[in-house]
Chains A and B, each alone.
Chain A
Amino acid sequence: MRRNRYVVVAGCGRLGSGIAARLSASGDSVVIIDREESAFAGLPPEFSGFRIEGDASRLSVLKAAKVDEADFLIAATGSDNVNLMAAQVAKRTFGVARVLARVYDPTKEKMYSGLGIVTVCPTSTAAEMFFRVMTEEPSGRGEASL
């Protein structure tokens, strides 16, 4: 069995709560951060991680989440800028080995992917998939995945 990992997730929206629940269910130690306490209602009852109410773009909140001990930080708040800041601070100030950030703006995604942050841009990913499906031969093979 692989070693138990310590993961900090910023943002408890659909993406954050979903990934936090999954990691927690598979045995990882998870801390999830959100500005709004009510957001934690989106977590499943079996979620066994910690919840921290606070702004992930504040150093004190990241410290409280013990980001310096984390193996991963996943920045999935609704704000690109908060995600980019939390990810960079986790990397530079707290030395987290692997950081991932969701970034909606493709321009920012391109710029920050060069800075040691794994960026995921739903906008360009979706555009890419749409484009691929539309340029594929209509053989019926790819349609099942839609």
Chain B
Amino acid sequence: MKALIIGGGTSIYFLCRNLASRGFRVAVIDRDPEVCGRLSRFLPVEVVCADGSDAGVLEEAGARKAELVLAVTGNDADNLVACQLASMEFGVPRTAALANDPENAEAFQDLGVPSFSIAEVVGSLIEQRASLREITNVLPAGGGKVIVTELVLQENSPVAGKLLKEVALPENSLVAILIRGEETIVPRGGNDLRAGDRLVLVTLPDNHGPAIRAVTGERSGTGGGV
């Protein structure tokens, strides 16, 4: 499987690694020679230093065999045209364009180009968190590698009335603190959980959603398939 990423600067480093770990051969097209130099030094990807909205460049980067094209430059018109060329000229089955201007996301949809906007993705994440009324606080720690969530157990929580050791939390998640009235406890398996308890959960981003669901019973954190 081949994936093409157009633009995005050095911030696509982790995206490239992620795609590579899922079995994609990744090629990057970027106009900035400095970005290209750095990416090719640190990643086992093919790097083409050119305009990714040019049909010749796309072909050279392997668009004909690509399964996926992501256009994430800072210019919405470039992203749109790159995706349209990829799908219409080279038959790429899946494309997505970044809409830097969130309003343009709507226009891209009208034109049949799947799009996403950072403002919307982040906004919907915040909304999902906020829509769970029991969550009072979410903060990233360890440079975004860890999420600390504070929440209050409701009456209908599936874990209320259970011992901590009876609760099936996903891997890499932890109830770090339990606050009950004036009492603050670092809980162990033998501690029970009750409605009204305030918990501080520590999770990794991957299992943040499952951990919250396990504790609240509600569905959250399902969106954002970017």
Contacts and interface: CB of A to CB of B under 8 A. Distances in A.
A82 B81 CA distance: 9
Contact of B55 (A57, A82, A108): A108
Interface residues of B, number: 21
B81 A57 contact: no
Contacts of B107: 59, 85, 89, 92-93
Given A59-B103, A108-B55, A111-B88, A80 B110 contact: no
Given A81-B53, A89-B111, A111-B89, A59 B81 contact: no
B80 interface: yes
B106 interface: yes
Contacts of A82: 77
B172 interface: no
A60 B77 CA distance: 14
A132 interface: no
B150 interface: no
Given A84-B77, A89-B107, A111 B101 contact: no
Contact of B110 (A57, A86, A93, A105): A93
Given A57-B76, A85-B81, A93 B106 contact: yes
Contacts, number: 57
Contacts of A81: 53, 75, 77-78, 80-81
**DSSP majority for the B interface?**
helix
In terms of DSSP, what is the predominant structure of the interface of chain A? Answer: helix
Bin the interface of chain A by size: 10 to 19
B104 interface: yes
A27 to B, nearest CB: 31
Nearest to A86: B77
A108 B103 contact: no
Given A57-B76, A59-B103, A93-B110, 9 more contacts: A58-B76, A80-B81, A81-B81, A85-B77, A88-B111, A92-B107, A105-B54, A107-B56, A111-B89
14 contacts: A57-B77, A81-B77, A81-B78, A84-B77, A84-B84, A85-B81, A89-B111, A92-B107, A93-B106, A93-B107, A105-B54, A107-B55, A107-B56, A111-B84
